[in-house]
Amino acid sequence: MEKTNTTATTKKTTTQFPTEIVSLPSEGFFYPDGHPLSSGKIEIKYMTAREEDILTSRNLITKGIVLDKLLEAVIVSNGEGKPVNIDDMVLGDKNAVMISTRILGYGPEYKFEITDPDTGEKFKDSIDLNSLETKKVNFDEYEKGVNKFSYQLPVSKKNIEFQLLTHKDEKEIDIELKKMKKFSKASGISSEITTRLKRAITSLDGDTDKGNIHQFVTSQFLAQDARAFREHMGEITPDVDMRYTFTNPDDGSEKEVTVPMTVDFFWPKS
């Protein structure tokens, strides 16, 4: 698997600031021909004190848009001089840009607290973010320039078509979940899984009516099918592989865990 971030970047220098060309996990494969991100690369600049102003802005933090504003500030172009709209980025590519931005801003060492999944004990650990790899996706199985995929549910045998979610989708999902928050508080049930499924699925047995798709997801989507579909989406989604091997310092046992994205990621302690 390929390394991601600064290990696969090309450094450039303008009269104003140094920049890096970062390879995207999607390789630009699922963006339409001619789209700026179809280049498979993105140019980002090194963080400055101005970007730290953004990260410490209480107003932006309160609104939940501080990281959006940070990415907008550091993204220079698609590597070929064309502007980039972060709303268009599939989520795995956005994750890669965030990690690269963090490396260029505060270095590759990321310290965090991890919970041993077996014992529940908490430990301090760290990782070199440059060591993270991109997930391996067999692009030969898909049509270039098309963000549309098909999958047959294993139990019900229904055929669905779906898309990889973009940053714009993520923002609209967050808005929808906030609107439903008062209802989920009363019931104690979160609608996050079904809300994401409704956004991803574009067709059900050839039917593209959103109302019918939403009805299916809400009341007819078998748990076995839903789990299998989410696993399939995870397998084909280009992204940064956030897994690493954690060694318990008490007993020396090793286990594969996911790097936690804590507040220290962009706000590391001095």
Structure confidence by residue, pLDDT tens digits, 148-161: 999 999 999 999 99
* Domain extents in the chain: 5-136+240-258, 143-236
Give the DSSP letter of residue 89.
S
> Strand, coil or helix: what is 75?
strand
Amino acid at 173: I
| Cα–Cα distances in angstroms (integers) from residue 20 to residues 4, 17, 47, in the given order | 12, 10, 11
Orientation of helix 192-200 relative to helix 223-236, angle to 10°: 60
pLDDT of residue 263: 81
pLDDT of residue 261: 87
Tokens of 169: 């989708």
pLDDT of residue 9: 55
Q: What percent of the chain has pLDDT above 70?
A: 91
* 80 alpha carbon, distance to own chain's centre: 23
Which candidate, 174, 169, 162, places its Cα nearest to that of 87?
A: 169
pLDDT of residue 270: 60
Separate counts of helices (H) and strands (E) for the chain? 9, 13
The C-alpha atoms of residue 161 and residue 164 are separated, in whole angstroms, by: 11
Structure confidence by residue, pLDDT tens digits, 180-227: 877 766 666 778 899 999 999 999 999 999 999 999 999 999 999 999
Give yes or no for residue 1 having a pLDDT over 50: no
CB 244 within 8 A of CB 127: yes
Angle (CA) 237-102-12 rounded to 5° is 95
> Strand, coil or helix: what is 57?
coil
CB 57 within 8 A of CB 130: no
Mean pLDDT of the chain: 90
Which candidate, 265, 29, 9, places its Cα nearest to that of 135?
A: 29
Give yes or no for residue 13 having a pLDDT over 60: no
Which candidate, 169, 158, 34, 55, places its Cα nearest to that of 105?
A: 55
User: How confident is residue 16, by pLDDT bands cut at 50, 70 and 90?
Assistant: confident
pLDDT of residue 162: 98
Give the least confident one: 5-9, 66-70, 164-168, 215-219: 5-9
Angle (CA) 92-49-18 rounded to 5° is 65
| Cα–Cα distances in angstroms (integers) from residue 115 to residues 126, 138, 143, 228, 258, in the given order | 13, 33, 40, 27, 10
Structure confidence by residue, pLDDT tens digits, 167-187: 999 999 998 888 887 776 666
